[in-house]
Amino acid sequence: MAPLLQYLRKEVLDLRRNKNNGILPYWLGTLLELQVLVLRFNRFHGHTDTFKTKSKLHFPKLRIIDISYNEFTGLLPANYISRFEAMMNVDEHELKLKYMGDMYYKDYVVMILKGHEIEYSRILRVISIIDLSSNKFIGEILKSIGRLNSLRGLNLSHNNLKGHIPTSLGNLSKLESLDLSSNQLVGEIP
């Protein structure tokens, strides 16, 4: 796979709807400029932290991550989520009309929000979305997600998450879409 890396766009990696399986490849952590990672509808499995020992990188520029419809297990990936710096304190005035890609190549992404596919034909740099739905994650929703105050969409549905919804999610003032359905959550919505 290493020779392929020289040809990958460093901002966007979209491998959705393939038949990839196994654990996450270690070389994902070497993509320093990665802003969009879409691995939806594959057969990846295991813990999402499995390649951290080979790479100390934690996707500091990642703005969109969609690893839905795989077979990931274990706790939510706290080591990565807490380091998604590009989803924290985004200066929207600075990035207001800036898009990923350049004038010749237009990046786009298709996201599933509340069961509907929505295509972003051009990706504004202020868009931040996390979709970890339809996996086999367990445990509680991470309080550290509340630090991602520039997040626009969060989908943790169809997992085996338990416990209360953390009050820190109230810090997500830019949030437009939240899906926590089909888990085993208890208590009131904060």
Alpha carbons 86 and 83: distance in angstroms, whole number: 9
29 contacts: CB under 8 Å, gap ≥ 6: 51, 52, 54, 55, 56, 57, 58, 59
Encoded tokens for 47:
């813990």
162 contacts: CB under 8 Å, gap ≥ 6: 138, 139, 140, 183, 184, 185, 186
Q: Count of CB atoms within 10 A of residue 31's CB? A: 21
pLDDT band at 178 (very low <50, low <70, confident <90, very high): very high
pLDDT band at 166 (very low <50, low <70, confident <90, very high): very high
pLDDT at residue 58 is higher than 60: yes
Whether the Cβ atoms of residue 28 and residue 48 lie closer than 8 Å to each other? no
Domain boundaries, the chain: 2-185
pLDDT digits (tens, 9 = 90+) for 18-57: 888 888 888 887 888 898 899 999 999 988 775 454 455 5
CATH architecture type of domain 2-185: Alpha-Beta Horseshoe (3.80)
pLDDT of residue 80: 86
pLDDT of residue 76: 95
Alpha carbons 20 and 11: distance in angstroms, whole number: 20
Q: What percent of the chain has pLDDT over 70?
A: 75
pLDDT of residue 161: 98
pLDDT band at 190 (very low <50, low <70, confident <90, very high): confident
pLDDT of residue 133: 95
pLDDT band at 14 (very low <50, low <70, confident <90, very high): confident
Whether the Cβ atoms of residue 137 and residue 148 lie closer than 8 Å to each other? no
